[in-house]
Amino acid sequence: MKPKTNKAKWIYTPFAAIGIVFIIVGTVSAFDTADFKKTALETTAVITDIHIHKGSDDDSDRYDVYIAFDVDGKEYSGELKHYSSGMRKGGNVQIFYAQNNPHNFRYAGMGGLLERCVFLVVWLSLCVNWHYTLTRHVQTKRFKKPPASGRQKDHGNIS
């Protein structure tokens, strides 16, 4: 007889695996940013340009934000790897830059922290749901309840 596969396990396992990968990547990214900010200096940069790349629908537009800032009388510029709806050309934005290499800079704001937290909560919820579903599935297979009367049903067999 062919063993039964646990369908719930096969449905939720990829989601849990992807969630774990995102949690690991997010954690590494958060520690990298925290380490960078320990030694970096903060300054105000000016938004010099914003390029908008239109996607196939209204929700898939991509924004490239370009900034310039001065360090010890020398101007540095480059693309900021962050965009928020309040950013405008000529506006100011807070950044951190590496002391020994001002070309290495990052956005000083939250940097998607709220989005990362929401994403983490969603994936953790899916993992908990996956675990609960598997546990419940195993328990219902292992501990089937007997009929209400406590004895086997008679299917009309005459003894």
Average pLDDT of span 27-45: 86
**pLDDT at residue 70 is higher than 70:** yes
Out of 53-62, 91-100, 147-156, least confident range:
147-156
Angstrom CA distances, 97 to 78, 88, 103, stand at: 12, 21, 7
When the pLDDT of each residue in the chain is averaged and rounded to a whole number, the result is 78
Q: Which H or E run includes 130?
A: helix 113-142
Rounded distance between C-alpha atoms, residue 159 and residue 155, angstroms: 11
**pLDDT at residue 26 is higher than 90:** no
17 exposure class (CB count in 10 Å sphere: 0-12, 13-18, 19+):
exposed
Rounded distance between C-alpha atoms, residue 15 and residue 157, angstroms: 49
Structure tokens at 125: 């919820």
Give the model's confidence band at 116: pLDDT under 50 very low, under 70 low, under 90 confident, else very high. low
What is the per-residue pLDDT across 91-114, written as a single tens digit (0 to 9) for each? 999 999 999 999 999 998 765 566
C-beta separation of 82 from 65 below 8 A? yes
Rounded distance between C-alpha atoms, residue 57 and residue 131, angstroms: 37
C-beta separation of 82 from 111 below 8 A? yes
What is the per-residue pLDDT across 7-16, written as a single tens digit (0 to 9) for each? 656 666 777 7
In 3D space, the residue among 158, 100, 142, 121 whose CA is nearest the CA of residue 6 turns out to be 142
